Amino acid sequence: MMMKKTLITSFVASALMLVSNAALADVKEGTVLSAQNIDALYEDTFEGHKIKDLLTEKIEWRIRENGFQMPLVHSKVVEMDAKWVERSNANAATATLNAETRQVEGWQGGMPFPNIDESDPKAAEKIVWNWYYGNPRGDVMNVPNVSYVMIDGDSGIERAQNWSFIRYTMKGRMNGEQTEGDGKELSRTLFFATAPRDIKGLGTYTVRQDSDKVEDVWAYIRAVRRTRRLSGGAWMDPIGGTDQLQDDIEIFNANPSWYESYKLIGKRHMLVAAHGKHSAWKVDAKTQQEEYPTLDLKNAPYWNFNYDNYEPREVYVIEAITPEEHPYSKKIIYVDTQYPRVHFGEAYDKKGEFWKMFQFHSYPGKGEDGFRDVRTTGGVTIDFKRNHATVFFPDTSTWSTNTPGLEMDDVNLSALRKGAR
């Protein structure tokens, strides 16, 4: 009898141990986090991190209440270009943040602050400057075909637009002379619509200064075939027909000194798409789901990137306080700790209530000259108050970094007029 009781006790203990070990086991790669399994997987781990610790409050809410799903893949190294790394490391000895002007001095390309000390009161601001100056996109970012898709959370896709985008770096260049022009310009950007017919010809030309001066922006007005210079506050203005402000391009698009202040909330791991699927927009597809294969267009709210890959990445969590005249009270941004990339962001209204979420997917690419860059596969700005979203997808098959033959004089106001026509 005693032996029987001992065997039963041993069996129960072994069973409990197996259950305990199973609970500690990693979730399998390929598992899709969803509202149906999040509770069951909540305390389980993936790459040593509990699932609950890989989800921000707002992302968890989207999974539970807003149809968001996240297919899990193991993390991979993002290899940066040797020139970019060399320039970034060199800045450690030369770059400083001027306390009075709040501008960076002594920067020479790459990240100005490669070694972030989390105890530094200016750590958060320096991380944002790393993003502003150090975004590894190459000297020329040439994306001739970008699809903007407007989505209603109740009914699905409303309309789609095609745009063309070129950004030419004037200062901090990786190839040839570090600076082109007079040294006052940081970059030049052309952005104009190519379809449908009712918007074809609309566009902007933007000159970003390497100072706290606001950007010089000209818009081409097709109806009168003229360009008009926009106001100095254009960086906070809505982008017509979308859910974005100019400041929301790539989640954070402002000169860091234009924001009032920054706070480094901390570091954490979260699930992001750092090796997103390249062909997120199939230009010649026959159906909408085939055209946008990473979107879940069968289920409301129709804007979720439910068919891409999400991997654990370490990020800085930063609170950015806006100036008084800004439509938001603050942004929370999640910046990769290895290289300057903002993966997610949140915007809050003047009452401090959650308003929008920004989500950008990327992948490592190579330029025409072999430069290792980081490219966007797609992104979304979700306005939860309107139950509406703006999704965009570049045609990655036509994306060109450091395009041969594309020169400084090809990106100017005349080029806007020509491209818009």
Amino acid at 198: D
pLDDT at 240: 82
pLDDT in tens, 272-306: 999 999 889 999 999 999 999 999 999 999 999 99
Q: What value does the mean pLDDT of the chain take?
A: 93
Residue 7 has pLDDT above 90, yes or no: no
Alpha-carbon distance 274 to 377, whole Å?
10
The predicted-structure confidence for 167-193, as pLDDT tens digits, reads as follows 999 999 999 999 999 999 999 999 999
How confident is the model over 221-250, as a mean pLDDT? 88
Asked whether residue 328 carries a pLDDT value surpassing 80, the answer given is yes
* 3-class secondary structure, 383: strand
Q: Are 357 and 250 in contact (CB under 8 A)?
A: no
Query: Could you tell me which residues are beta bridge partners of residue 228?
Result: 219
Q: Is the peptide bond before 196 cis (omega within 30 degrees of 0)?
A: yes
At residue 114, does pLDDT exceed 50? yes
Least confident piece of the model among 123-127, 143-147, 277-281, 301-305: 277-281
User: Mean pLDDT over residues 139-160, rounded?
Assistant: 97
25 pLDDT higher than 60: yes
Query: In the prediction, which pLDDT does 21 show?
Result: 43
pLDDT at residue 339, as a whole number? 97
Across 178-285, the runs of DSSP E, i.e. the strands, are 185-195, 203-209, 216-221, 226-229, 261-272
Cα dihedral across residues 411, 215, 196, 301: positive or negative: positive
Q: Are 27 and 50 in contact (CB under 8 A)?
A: no
What is the distance between the alpha carbons of residues 151 and 34, in angstroms, rounded to a whole number? 21
Q: Does residue 14 have a pLDDT over 80? A: no
Answer whether residue 311 shows pLDDT above 60.
Answer: yes
Q: Going along 236-277, which residue ranges are E strands?
A: 261-272
Report the percentage of the chain scoring pLDDT > 90. 87
> Residue 16 — very low, low, confident or very high, per pLDDT cuts 50/70/90?
very low
How does residue 360 score in pLDDT terms, banded at 50, 70 and 90?
very high
Would you call the peptide bond into 301 cis, given omega within 30 degrees of 0 as the criterion? Answer: yes
Comparing CA positions, the residue from 76, 162, 89, 115 lying closest to residue 364 is: 76
The per-residue pLDDT for range 57-97, each reduced to its tens digit, is 999 999 999 999 999 999 999 999 999 999 999 999 999 99
Is residue 106 within 8 Å of 94, Cβ to Cβ? yes
Residue 113 CA to residue 180 CA, distance in Å, equals 23
Q: How far apart are CA 151 and CA 149, in angstroms?
A: 6
Mean pLDDT of 8-33: 60
3-state secondary structure of 101: coil
Contact between 249 and 215 (Cβ < 8 Å): no
Handedness of CA 7, 11, 14, 16 (dihedral sign): negative
Residue 355 in this model has a pLDDT that exceeds 80: yes
Domains annotated on the chain, with CATH: 82-130 (no CATH), 131-420 (2.50.20.10)
Dihedrals phi, psi of 67, to nearest 5 degrees: 75, 10
pLDDT of residue 24: 57
Q: How many CA atoms lie within 13 A of 316 on its CB side?
A: 25
Q: Which two tokens stand for residue 279?
A: 């062909």
Q: Which of 262, 232, 271, 421 is nearest to 332 (CA)?
A: 262
